């Protein structure tokens, strides 16, 4: 014997099935929408944090550069500073080592770079002031000790030297005015590198934005 539901019962079964199907679909869609919104908020948060980081990075970077450029400016201006006679008291070569690391865990590597600076202590007088300094040339370093030693050998102990001193601050002085070509090149690189990197990031962001709008 076969049981066949009436038309009213069949409509009721279909409507119940449709409600169950819709409820299952809506239940499946809600988590997906929540995940999408969470991912979108996370992306906005990280983009905002990255933007803030870049702004702070550029502010700190150029604050440091302002100090460096002031020193470089003193070196260039020294050509026009007044001069006085000085006497060399002591000479030696000093060194500075900077260390950088890359990678993580077992693949982490460390490298170091050493620069050498000719140190020439000389005494000089400006009016009634008796002063000492050891700067040969502003912001000038050498890659090898031998190169720096060649500079110190140009200033034997007890020899007389011409000292260029800053009129508004006689404590600042040099034996060689100006800055080296290598120093100027480094200044140019450090000046424009952040701007170039920022421009590249903006370009990639603009390309990605244009593709997403298509």
pLDDT value at residue 103: 61
Token pair, residue 94, equals: 């000093």
pTM for this predicted structure: 0.59
Return the domain boundaries, the chain: 81-102+109-179
DSSP 123-184: EEEETTEEEEE--SSTT--BSSHHHHHHHHTTS-TT-EEEEEEETTEEEEEESS-S--HHHH
Neighbours of 34 (CB within 10 A): 10
What's the CA gap between 19 and 6, in Å, rounded? 20
Q: Tens of pLDDT along the chain (214 residues)?
A: 555 555 555 555 455 545 554 555 554 555 667 766 776 677 677 766 766 777 777 777 777 777 777 777 788 899 999 999 999 999 999 998 887 666 666 667 777 889 999 999 999 999 999 999 999 998 888 999 999 999 999 999 999 999 999 999 999 999 999 887 777 777 777 777 777 777 777 787 777 777 777 6
Give the burial class of 68: count Cβ atoms within 10 A of its Cβ; 0-12 exposed, 13-18 middle, 19 or more buried. middle
């Amino acid at each position: 014997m076969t049981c066949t539901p009436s038309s009213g019962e069949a409509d009721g079964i279909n409507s119940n099935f449709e409600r169950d199907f819709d409820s299952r679909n809506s239940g499946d869609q809600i988590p997906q929408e929540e995940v999408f919104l969470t991912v979108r908020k996370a992306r906005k948060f990280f983009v905002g944090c990255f933007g803030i980081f870049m702004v702070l990075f550029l502010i700190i970077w150029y604050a440091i550069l302002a100090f460096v450029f002031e020193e470089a400016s003193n070196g260039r201006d020294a050509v026009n500073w007044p001069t006085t006679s000085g006497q060399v008291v002591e000479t030696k070569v000093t060194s500075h080592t900077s260390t950088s690391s890359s990678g993580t865990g077992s693949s982490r590597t460390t490298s170091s770079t050493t620069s050498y600076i000719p140190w020439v202590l000389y005494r000089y007088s400006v009016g009634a002031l008796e002063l000492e300094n050891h700067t040969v040339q502003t912001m000038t370093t050498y890659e090898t000790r031998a190169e720096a030693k060649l500079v110190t050998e140009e200033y034997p102990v007890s020899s007389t030297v011409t000292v260029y001193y800053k009129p508004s601050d006689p404590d600042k002085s040099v034996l060689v005015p100006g800055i080296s070509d290598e120093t100027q090149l480094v200044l140019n690189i450090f000046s424009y590198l952040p701007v170039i990197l920022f421009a590249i990031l903006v370009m990639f962001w603009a390309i990605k934005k244009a593709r997403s709008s298509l």
